Structure 1
Amino acid sequence: MEKHELDRIIILTRKQKTTGLTRQEAEERRELYIKYLAFVRVRVEKQLEEAGCRK
């Protein structure tokens, strides 16, 4: 996941809280969030493997 994608999630989240999102923006945010969750899962699994907690 690249920094510009994380920045975009933050921008869309702030906009959602203030003025709301268009359908396109909401879909974009959802897709980026799914990508972010996959990125986090991979990182956590790797850390667990390196710590000897998972095989």
Structure 2
Amino acid sequence: MADSQAQEKLLKRINELAHKNKAEGLTVAEKAERKQLRDQYLKNFREAFRSNIEMMRIFDKDGKEVTPEKVRQIQRKKGLRDD
């Protein structure tokens, strides 16, 4: 929950800076803050996305697991699989 709230807070501030930029422009400090916030937001997004992919198991319509081997290897390395 805290991660979600942190992401929302980052996004809210990014949007505030975007609106200010359109309306009146940003100071040098605000531009630096915007870049730092965007970088942090993307880092957090990528980490969450990677985690979701690594946890995923894929099955075909017949119920046979077809998770790509690369993902299976990552899951085994992290102790998420026992096969």
Aligned pairs, number: 55
Q: Quote how far apart the aligned CAs of 1:7 are.
A: 1.2
Does structure 1 residue 39 correspond to structure 2 residue 44?
yes
Give the TM-score normalised by structure 2.
Answer: 0.59
1:10 match:
15
Gaps of 5+ in 2: 58-67, 75-83
Instruction: Flag the structure with more relative contact order, 1 or 2, with Cα contacts below 8 A and sequence separation at least 6.
Output: 1
| Higher helix fraction (1 or 2) | 1
| Higher Cα Rg, which structure | 2
Does structure 1 residue 50 correspond to structure 2 residue 55?
yes
| One-letter amino acid matched to 2:12 | D
Give the TM-score normalised by structure 1.
Answer: 0.85
Provide the rounded CA distance (Å) in 2 between the counterparts of 1:44 and 1:5. Answer: 17
CA root-mean-square deviation: 1.5
Gaps of 5+ in 1: none
Write the deviation string for residues 3-50 of structure 1: whole angstroms up to 9, x where unpaired.
332211110011111211000000000000000000000011001001
2:24 to 19, 32, 42: 19
